[in-house]
Amino acid sequence: MIEVTDPDDPRLDEYRFLRTADRRPDRPGGLGLVIAEGTIAVSRMLASRYPVRSMLGVRRKLETLPPVDAPVYVTTAEVMAEVIGFHLNRGVLAMADRPEPLSVSSVIDGARRLVVLEGVGDHENLGALFRNAAGLGVDGVLLGAGCSDPLYRRSVRVSMGHVLAVPFTTLSPWPDGLKLLQDNGFTVMALAPAGAADLSSVTPPVKAAVMLGSEGPGLTAEAIAAADMAVKIPMVGGVDSLNVATAGAVAFYALGLGR
């Protein structure tokens, strides 16, 4: 551990712009870094394929984490707040580089349960989907058209670091890329309020890909048409659909993902 007492220490420079450093390098202020906050998310980062560049935190938090082959800067909560520009009550941060995206085949080979997303642009919903996916046994996530970047800081945080653990990649062209899943034995199940089949009446297929759309507009007609079936969660009349991450959790549970 490297003790740091000066908030202007240049070794901490990449911690000064947390609000933009997670953007892709082609975006304003973007450094393309992946940021984990708090011991739970940081420990998931340390266990992940993401190459850690450095860590910054207070001693009490850093001491709970396993060793890492990168600089570990230890400081006070006050210096930390001064460096990052706001008070972060989780007391520890880790930075990683973005590795190359996974190939579709590396996400789907050996998988039995996949989630496919379309138009999920909200970072919190995306993070929550990964958390629910991890908890309920989903093997991988495929991002169709219109999804945000799951490696944004807020998604990483809301996911409790699970975006770093659950394999994901982009599926394109969209929605024609779904054919690839079907060719690999997956039944693509579109979750849609107007779905023909009630989720509770569906026998879970051996290999299932659950497809979810964004909260307002839902899945596009093209995506639903490309699926093998459309299923719905039985809802009480007149009530808005569930939040997309919650609907996902119900579907993952109902399909016995992870069992």
Q: Which stretch, 48-56, 83-91, 124-132, 183-191, contacts a copy of itself (CB under 8 A)? A: 124-132
Task: Tell me which of 125, 160, 163, 175 binds a copy of itself, using CB under 8 A.
Answer: 160
Question: Least distance in Å: CB of 237 to a copy of itself?
Answer: 9
The answer to whether 91 and 76 are in contact (CB under 8 A) is no
Decide if residue 115 touches a copy of itself (CB under 8 A): no
Decide if residue 137 touches a copy of itself (CB under 8 A): yes
Helix H segments across 111-217?
123-135, 153-158, 178-183
Distance CA(158)–CA(118), nearest Å, equals 19
Decide if residue 258 touches a copy of itself (CB under 8 A): yes
**3-class DSSP assignment, residue 57:** strand
Q: Which stretch, 97-105, 174-182, 203-211, 239-247, contacts a copy of itself (CB under 8 A)? A: 239-247
Question: Least distance in Å: CB of 137 to a copy of itself?
Answer: 5
Distance CA(111)–CA(57), nearest Å, equals 36
Name which of 80 and 251 has its Cβ closer to a copy of itself: 251
Task: Tell me which of 101, 200, 222, 225 binds a copy of itself, using CB under 8 A.
Answer: 200
Residues 6 or more apart in contact with residue 13 via CB below 8 angstroms: none
Residues 6 or more apart in contact with residue 44 via CB below 8 angstroms: 36, 160, 161, 162, 164, 165
Element (H, E) at 112: none
Decide if residue 233 touches a copy of itself (CB under 8 A): yes
Question: Least distance in Å: CB of 10 to a copy of itself?
Answer: 36
Q: What is the DSSP string of 93-109?
A: EEEEEPPPPPPHHHHHT
Residue among 146, 114, 137, 126 at smallest CA distance from 245: 126
Task: Tell me which of 123, 162, 207, 232 binds a copy of itself, using CB under 8 A.
Answer: 162
Q: Phi/psi of residue 154, each to 5°?
A: -65, -40
Question: Least distance in Å: CB of 124 to a copy of itself?
Answer: 10
Task: Tell me which of 136, 191, 212, 226 binds a copy of itself, using CB under 8 A.
Answer: 136
Task: Tell me which of 91, 241, 244, 255 binds a copy of itself, using CB under 8 A.
Answer: 241
Name which of 24 and 49 has its Cβ closer to a copy of itself: 49
Decide if residue 239 touches a copy of itself (CB under 8 A): yes
In this structure, the dihedral spanned by the alpha carbons of residues 148, 149, 153 and 156, taken in order and rounded to 10 degrees, is 100
Residue among 184, 147, 193 at smallest CA distance from 169: 147
* Binding to a copy of itself, residues 6-45 (CB under 8 A): 40
Contacts with a copy of itself by CB under 8 A lie at: 40, 128, 131-132, 134-137, 160, 162, 200, 233-236, 239-243, 245-246, 249-250, 253-254, 256, 258-259
